[in-house]
Chains A and B, each alone.
Chain A
Amino acid sequence: MDASHTPNPFHLGFVSIRERSPHGYFGGFLVINELARPLEFHCTLPLQPSRAQRILFGPTLDEFVCGEQIARAMLGKVKTKPTVVLTDTAAALSVRHWIDVPIFWLQEEYQAEEPSNGFAIPSQKRSESEYASRVIRGKPFYWLPSYTGDGAALDALMGDGVSQLDLREPFGRIVEALAEAHPRSKVA
C-alpha cells in the first residue's frame, strides 16, 4: 500500500474473500467514502491453491490464501488508502502482517438476506477467543491480538460519524460485484 496518500477518516475499506466450487477463492476489495459511495474496487482472478500448498499449509491454508495472498495483493494496489479495513472473512485478518492499516473482522450473520451467488465465506478455523475483540452496540469486532493499538482505531472509527453507515452492507455489494466480474463462474 502506498503510504504517501493522506488517509481520509471517512474512507473505509471492505475486504471479502469467498470460495466457490470448483473455481477456488475470489477476493474483492471496496473502498468507499463517507457517503458510502464507491471510490475503488479491486478483485482477484479465481485462485486455486496447489496440492503442495494444501499439504504444507494444512489448517492454516485459508489464512495464507485469504490474507497473505489475496487480501495482500488487492490492498497493495489501492490508490485511496483507507483508515480502517473491515472484513467478513476471518482468515483475511492475517493480511495485517503486511499492511499498516488496522483490519477488523465483522462476523457475518447477514448471509441469509444477501444474495450469495454461490459464494461462501471460507469456514472459520480459529476460535473467536484467539482474537482480540470488542463489542460495540452488541456486535463483536475482532482483530489480531498482536496489534494492540488497533482497538483505539476501532473506537475512533465508531465515534467518528461512521456510526451512520451500515457497515455490513458493502460486503453484499462486493459479492454482487464478484458475480458480475466472473460471469463464467456463475452457479447455474
Chain B
Amino acid sequence: MPENAVQSSQEYNSQVIVQSYADALECTPNLSSWPHDATEREDIHLWDGKLLPGLQVTNLPDWNKSHDLPKVLAIQLSQSLPRTIGFSFPESSGWLTTTKHSTPQPGSNREEAPASVQLDVRSSDEPSVGNALQTPRRTRLQPPKDLVRLEDRLYYVLQPPLETIAQSAKLTFPFQPFPYQMEGIAFLFPRSSAILADEMGLGKTMQAITAIRMLLLSGEMRDALLICPKPLVTNWVREFRQWAPEIPVAVIEGDSSKRAWVWSNPQAPVKIANYELMLRDSSIINDESIHFDLVVLDEAQRIKNRNSTTSEVVRAIPRSRSWALTGTPIENSIEDLVSIFEFLSPGTLRDDMHLKSLGKATRDHILRRTKDKVLADMPPKLFRNADLDLSHEQRLSYRIAEEEGIVHLSDLGESITVQHVFELVLRLKQICNFDPVTGASSKLERLEADIEEVAASGQKAIVFSQWVETLDVIGTKLERFNPVYYTGRVPSKKRDNVIEQFRNDPKCSVILMSYGAGAVGLNLQFCHYVFLFDRWWNPAVEDQAINRAHRLGVKQPVTVTRMMAVETIEQRIHDVLEQKRALLQILFEEAGTPRNLGLNQQEIFGLFGLQVPKVAKAA
C-alpha cells in the first residue's frame, strides 16, 4: 500500500475524531480547554486508536520527548436536569355524587327516576369483568379553538374520557348513548358558545341534558337556564327526569310573584322557561342579581329575527356560556345563523361575510350530524309520493279560481304585492284539499283508504296539514279511527294527555297535527306512518314534522306519504322545494350555502309566471 494512501487514511480518521470533539465542545462547556492546534489533533487521533485495519501509523509523536505521561482528557457531562413546565389543576371539589340530591326541592319537578343502566364503557366484544386493563370506548374532550392559554387547553386535553367520568361518578342512563351522542356531549362540555345542529331525531335533548348534568356534577357549573317553546316545556321536564334524575329542575310558570320566586330559587340548578314568558319577565332576568352559568336555547331558530323582542331579551340575559339547539340553524337564509350567533358570540358573524369566511368562523362552534351518516343501521324513511288527480269538481273550481286570480293579479299592475300572490296560492291550495262547494277531495279519499290499511295492521299514523280547519274535516271523515288533535287550539297543558292517549289507546289510530303545533320536539317513534296532507313552504319544517316519527328508538322504517295534486300549484311549489332540499343536504358540507331555503319573493311570483314589480323589489 503506498505511503500516501496511509496518510490519507490517517487524515480521514483524524477528521472524524476531531468532529466528535467539536460536537462535545458544543454541548459541554467544560471541554473548552481542549487542544485545538493541528499537532495536538494528532494526539487526539492516537488517543482514540481507531485506525482502519491493516494501516500503518507514521509520524507518531514521541511522548518521552515532550511529556512524561500521556495527556488525560476529561469529559465531564452536564448534571443539570432538563427544564420542565408544570400545571396544577384544582382537585374537583367534586364530583358531587349522584346521591347528594336526594331531597326534592320546592318548585322542582323531580319524580322517581325510571329504570336505568350504568354506562357501558366496554367495547362490544369485551368480557364483562376486570376492565382495568381492557380497551374501552373513549370519548375525549377537545379544547375549543378559541381557548388560547396552554393551561386552559391542557385542562381539557387531560380530562379523562367521558365514559370514565360517567363511570367514576356512577352516573346512570336510561339506555346506552350512541357513540355520536357521546361525541356531541364532548363537543358541548368545554364550549362557551356552541350550536348543536344535529338533524331532528338524533337526540339533541339528551346530549344537552347529559352535558349539563356532567358540568353540574363536576362542579364546573352551578346553574343553567333552558329556554324552549312553550309546548315543549313538559317534554324537557320529562327528559330531564329520564336522563338526569338527580338534578332538580324548576319550571318558570304561574303568576308573576311565583315566577319571581322561582327565578331567584337557588335550590334548582336547572330552570326551564318558555320564549313567550321571557318577554314578560325581562325585567327580572335582566336584573344584576341574576346570572346563569349557562343559557341554552332550544329550537333556537326562534331568535332568527334579531330585531324581535324575544331575541333582544334572550341576548340580554347575563350568562357565561351560551348554547343553541336547532335542527335548522339556517331555516330561510344565512341571516338566521348570524342572528343565532348574535346570542352565542356577538360580533363574530356579519350578514355580508363571504361564505368561506362564514364557514371558517363557525366551524369550531357548530356540530351537525345527519342520520344517514351516524345511524347506518337506523330504519330508513320511505318516501311515497301520492300524486293525485283532482276530482272533477275540484278541477272545475281550481280552474276558475286560478284564471280569475291571475286576471286579478294582472289588473293590480304595479300595486301588486307578494301578499296578493300568497292569497291566491292559499286559495288554490285549499281547493287542492277540498272542493269548496261539494267538499269532494281525492286526497281525502286516498287518505281514508291508507288509514284503513294502517289501522287494520295495528299501526298508527300522523297526518299533517297547515290548516286546522282542514284537520277538522279530515277528523270527521276518519272518525271511526278515533283521531286525536294536536293543534294550536289544544291548550298546552292538555297536549301531553293527547300524546299519551295516542300512544296508549289501541283504538286511536290517527293523530291530526298542524305543522305549527306538532313539528318540533315531540317523540312519536312508535308511529311508523306519516301523511303530509298538504305541503309546507319550507322543506326544513316538513323534515321536522316527519322526524317526529323517524327518530331515535324507531324500530321500523317510517313511511312518509306526500300527497300532491298534480298539475296544480302544489306541484309547482313541490318542484321548487325539491331543488332547495337538495341544496339543504350540502349546506354544511360545502361552501355553496343557499341564501334562502323557503320560497323567496321572486319564486312566489314565478309560480304564476309573474315578474316581481319594481315597487315590490324596492320594498
Contacts and interface: CB of A to CB of B under 8 A. Distances in A.
Does chain A bind chain B?
Answer: yes
Interface in B76-102: 77, 81-89, 91-92, 94-95
Nearest to B160: A36
A176 B167 CA distance: 22
11 contacts: A36-B165, A37-B92, A39-B89, A42-B85, A45-B85, A51-B26, A56-B75, A165-B132, A166-B133, A168-B133, A176-B157
Contacts, number: 153
Contacts of B95: 35, 37
A139 B86 CA distance: 31
B138 interface: yes
B135 interface: yes
B24 A51 contact: yes
B86 A44 contact: no
Q: Is the interface of A mostly helix, strand, loop or mixed?
A: mixed
B135 A113 contact: yes
A177 B140 CA distance: 12
Contacts of B81: 69, 72-73, 76
Nearest to A110: B135
Interface residues of A, number: 54
B116 interface: no
Interface size class of B (residues with CB under 8 A): 35 or more
A180 to B, nearest CB: 5
Given A50-B28, A113-B135, A41 B158 contact: yes
Contacts of A40: 86-89
A93 to B, nearest CB: 18
Nearest to B155: A38
B133 A52 contact: no
A39 B89 CA distance: 5
Query: Which of B92, B157, B161, B168 gathers the greatest number of chain A CB atoms within 10 Å?
Result: B157
B134 A166 contact: yes
Contacts of B164: 36, 165-166, 169
Interface string B12-39: 0000000010011011100100000000
Nearest to A138: B133
A13 interface: no
Interface in B505-531: none
Contacts of B86: 40-43, 74, 77
Contacts of A50: 23-24, 26-28, 77
Given A44-B83, A164-B167, A166-B164, 18 more contacts: A35-B165, A39-B89, A40-B89, A42-B85, A44-B82, A45-B82, A50-B26, A50-B77, A52-B24, A52-B28, A70-B82, A73-B84, A163-B132, A166-B121, A166-B133, A167-B133, A177-B154, A177-B157
A184 interface: no
Nearest to B133: A139
The 10 lowest CB-CB distance pairs between A and B, nearest first, are: A50-B27, A51-B23, A73-B81, A52-B24, A36-B160, A38-B158, A35-B168, A42-B86, A163-B132, A44-B82
B582 interface: no
Contacts of A35: 92, 94-95, 160, 165, 168-169
